[in-house]
Amino acid sequence: MLKELNVLVDFIEAHLTEEIQPQMLQKITGVSVYHLKIVFFHLTQMTISEYIKQRRLSEAAQKLSQGASVTEVAYQYGYQSLDGFTRAFKKWSGLLPSEINKLQQSKVFPKISFTITVTGGNNMEYKIIEMPDFYLAGVKKRVSMQFEGVNEEIIALAQSITGAQREEMHALKNVAPLEVVNASYAADYGFKEEKGELTHLIGVLTTKEPKLLTKKAVSAGLWAVFTAEGPFPETMQKTMAKIYSEWLPSVEYELIAKPNFSFTKMNTKKDKFAYSEIYIPIKEKSMGS
């Protein structure tokens, strides 16, 4: 996967002054845009579109420092108006484009590259399972993406579940892992938009039709299952980070656009200590990926 990510970065670099469509990235890397944008985000903490924007503004700054006109640079790097370029450049660098050549100073955002860094030397234990068609049945809400600490929006969602809804969850669950899960999908890792939200659903896996609960149909396929045991939520969040930043770049599997989900069981004998299982939807990479 590191090879494909570096191909992606090289392609972007060669086409900074052109419109870059998502399907172009899929074609030159052989990897789905869905997989690319999620792995790229987890490795860099920015979307592909944000990276492209920052590289364009950095190159624009270099051209301006060499004496190029603001109008010329604005249109060269894809801005439809001088005002739009000026606002974006000022927000990015803190300076007006017209000040760059005079002051001979600006912000620089260099091209990134992906390399292998070996840390820890610990194996990640996982299993691949095949799951049937099922529904996620529960309560859902669009929430802000958060990678550390407790997400208060998810806590509020859990607290909103009524007694009747909990009873229906218990009656419906008939697909392993037979637990109340936290599922996430439709995340704004973005190619054009940079929002940072996802749909979070608290519910169960079932083949039955719910009456009180929202349902999300999920087609049959493969899931990679990871376990995490330790202080909650820190241990689970660190495991999630390692899945995206270490495991996915090193295996012959690719993410697919289905919900990931997890369940957690708190240890009553140890404060904030829990056992979690994390389910990541995947497929085997096609030949040439």
Domain map (residue ranges) of the chain: 2-103, 126-284
Whether CATH 3.20.80.10 fits 126-284: yes
| pLDDT tens-place string over residues 114-134 | 775 555 555 677 899 999 999
Q: Is the pLDDT of residue 192 over 60?
A: no
User: What is the model's pLDDT at position 217?
Assistant: 97
Q: Write b or e for each residue in 108-131: b if 16 or more Cβ atoms lie within 10 A of its Cβ, otherwise e.
A: ebeebebeeeeeeeeeeebeeeeb
Provide the whole-model pTM: 0.75
Q: Is the pLDDT of residue 289 over 50?
A: no
Q: What is the mean pLDDT of the chain?
A: 87
Mean per-residue pLDDT for 257-264?
94
Whether CATH 3.65.10.10 fits 2-103: no
**Judging by beta carbons within 10 Å of its beta carbon (0-12, 13-18, 19+), is residue 230 exposed, middle or buried?**
middle
| pLDDT tens-place string over residues 210-252 | 999 999 999 999 999 999 999 988 888 889 888 888 888 878 8
Interior CA angle at 142 toward 139 and 143, to 5°?
110
The structure tokens 């200590």 sit at 273
Q: Is the pLDDT of residue 156 over 90?
A: yes
Mean per-residue pLDDT for 22-44?
87
> What is the Cα–Cα distance from 20 to 277, expressed in whole angstroms?
38
> What is the Cα–Cα distance from 102 to 285, expressed in whole angstroms?
51
Mean per-residue pLDDT for 56-65?
92
> What is the Cα–Cα distance from 43 to 245, expressed in whole angstroms?
5
